[in-house]
Amino acid sequence: MKAIGYFREPAAAKKGESLADQNKAFLKYCDEHGYDVAITFVETADGNGSPPEMKQRAGFRQLVDYLRRTDHGFMIVVARSLEGIGIDRQQAMRRYFQLESLGAQVAFLTGSNDPLAELVERWAEESAEKNKLGDRVRAAMRRKAVRGEVLGRPPYGYRVGSRRRLELIPDEAVVVRYIFRLYLQDGMGIRLIARRLNEEGLRTRRGGNWSMVSIRDILRNRVYLGTYSRFGVRVPGSHPALVSPDDFRAVQDRLSARRNNFAKRQPTPFLLAGIVRCGHCGNKMIGVSRRQSWKRRSGSEGKASYRYYQCESRTNQSMCDYHTQRAEVLEEQVRDRLAALDVDALLPQAGNEEAVLAEWQERSKRLQSRFRQLDRRLNEQLTAAAKGRISREQLRKLSVATAANQLKLEEEMEEIQRRLQEQQDASERSRGRQRTLATLLDGWATLPINERQSHLRDLVDRIVVHDDELQVLLRP
């Protein structure tokens, strides 16, 4: 077996923690266990990445790239300790599972011979300390909930009144009762209710159109029974009700019956999702799949699947006419438009550098938000293992998958940081866009859909679709 040394330069080296000490201990470890030394990687004390998770990553990036090569066989990565693979416990935990996702075993020069057991044990100890503080906070929140005091944003139809209790907003309360009546007494579906409200000029609290999601949320919310629920505490009669228990129960029965009638489907991604818009109302067009079956004269059964881009306003709000495009036809039209581009069209316009930079920075923020969500999922998985709700093997399987997704996000964020630097040079930006276009067109039929989507978003700001006209608007 071959061993890889991974050393991190401490900000203030203690005895036995210097790079020389770590390398010496690594060589001794390999000699004692009979490992062949493959290579070593070093992380410097200071990183240049702007987000915290991107700091101290140059050495780790080189290690990841090395492990991804297919000709090295089975590898073990040896670090000084759990703390030696990250700038904090969160990063160390994440990197441990990322290395395992790449097929490497991880071992430490100090600490337990079972790194996963040590990781779970330490997590349990830290969680216990955090829970002491969390329990005090939750206890205070529960005391407020028991008194029926509002915690957080009040639901539609109510506002926070005296003694922090919910009280009615008359205009909104009328709309809530109207929604329940349309669904229960008039038998209207959720989409038709959204359409009715939008056509009548009724708006959400934020002044937007009603959608299927917002209607369903209201129909599902038990707050309209006059019961306040928070932190496991239910306080019946804490505020005025807007629907009777019998009507609410009947609504839930109908919602559940409709949900159970639909079989689960595995969604297939649509190439133009997020960038194609309806030319009539300006809203996004979303991917819709339809399955049809029929009987032939011979008695045999025929089946077919159809994929469309359809206006979201019609799908969720019933506010636009039936504007739809076959997916394969529209995607091929977009490809033809891109293939016909003059490369000079990809040259950036003077004065738009700030807009381009702002777009990349916004994308970086979205990726960082997703990254933090995965960190929370990783924490939840460790907590479940620490409390014995899942086994160590289950923890390993779940956490390796989560950490692998984070590794991809880190790479995307690194790419964005790189591109942000490139945006400072207009000529380099132009060459990059031309390379992206060539890569996209050459690999239109062979590249994975996520790569094609990424290239499209780099080039195209939006695609505007009319019934007989198509506009492909490039990024500035």
Task: For residues 1-22, give the mean pLDDT.
Answer: 77
Distance between CA atoms of 122 and 46, rounded to whole angstroms?
A: 26
Share of the chain above pLDDT 70, in %: 81
In percent, how much of the chain has pLDDT > 90?
28
Residues 6+ apart with CB under 8 A from 266: none
Is residue 197 a contact partner of residue 175, using CB atoms and an 8 Å limit? yes
Q: Which domain holds residue 308?
A: 276-326
Would you place residue 343 in the very low, low, confident or very high pLDDT band (cuts 50, 70, 90)?
A: low
**206, 230, 260 - which closes a domain:** 260
Taking each helix axis from N to C terminus, what angle separates 212-220 and 190-199, rounded to the nearest 10 degrees? 110
Task: Provide the pLDDT for residue 397.
Answer: 92
404 and 352 in one domain?
yes
Is residue 332, in this structure, part of any structural domain at all? no
Is 121 a domain residue?
A: no
Average pLDDT of the residues in 163-182: 91
Residue bearing the bigger pLDDT, 129 or 275: 275
Q: Are residues 320 and 355 located together in one domain of the fold?
A: no
Please write the tens of the pLDDT for every residue from 345-395. Answer: 555 444 456 666 777 788 888 899 999 999 999 999 988 988 889 998 999
Residue 91: CA atoms inside 13 Å, Cβ hemisphere, count? Answer: 16
> Is there a domain that residue 82 lies in?
yes
**The residue type at 16:** G
Task: Answer yes or no: is 457 within a domain.
Answer: no
* pTM for the predicted model, two decimal places: 0.48
CA-nearest of 436, 453, 365 to 50 is 365
pLDDT at position 352 is 58
Tokens of 50: 């702007």
Highest mean pLDDT: which of 6-20, 355-369, 422-436, 458-472? 458-472
Q: Within this chain, do residues 321 and 366 fall inside the same structural domain, yes or no?
A: no
In a domain, 120, yes or no: no
Range from 40-54, 152-166, 457-471 carrying the lowest mean pLDDT: 40-54
| Domain co-membership, 19 together with 80 | yes
Alpha carbons 329 and 326: distance in angstroms, whole number: 5
Is the pLDDT at 180 greater than 50, yes or no?
A: yes
Q: Is residue 387 part of a domain?
A: yes
> Which residue reads 């329990």 in tokens?
135
CATH at 183: 3.90.1750.20
Dump pLDDT digits (tens) for 330-341: 999 999 999 988
359 and 311, same domain (yes or no): no
Mean pLDDT within 90-112:
88
62 within a domain of the structure (yes/no): yes
pLDDT digits (tens, 9 = 90+) for 421-449: 766 665 666 777 788 888 999 989 888 88
What confidence score (pLDDT) does residue 347 get? 52
Q: Determine contact, residues 142/235, Cβ cutoff 8 Å.
A: no
- Domain final residue pick, 111, 143, 178: 111
Residue 31 maps to which CATH number? 3.40.50.1390
End-to-end CA distance of the chain: 52
Looking at the structure, tell me whether residues 295 and 256 fall in a common domain. no
What integer pLDDT is reported at residue 122 of this predicted model?
A: 79
- Residue 208 shares a structural domain with residue 180: yes
pLDDT tens per residue, range 36-71: 999 999 987 654 444 444 444 688 889 998 888 756
- How many domains would you assign to the chain? 4
303: in domain = yes
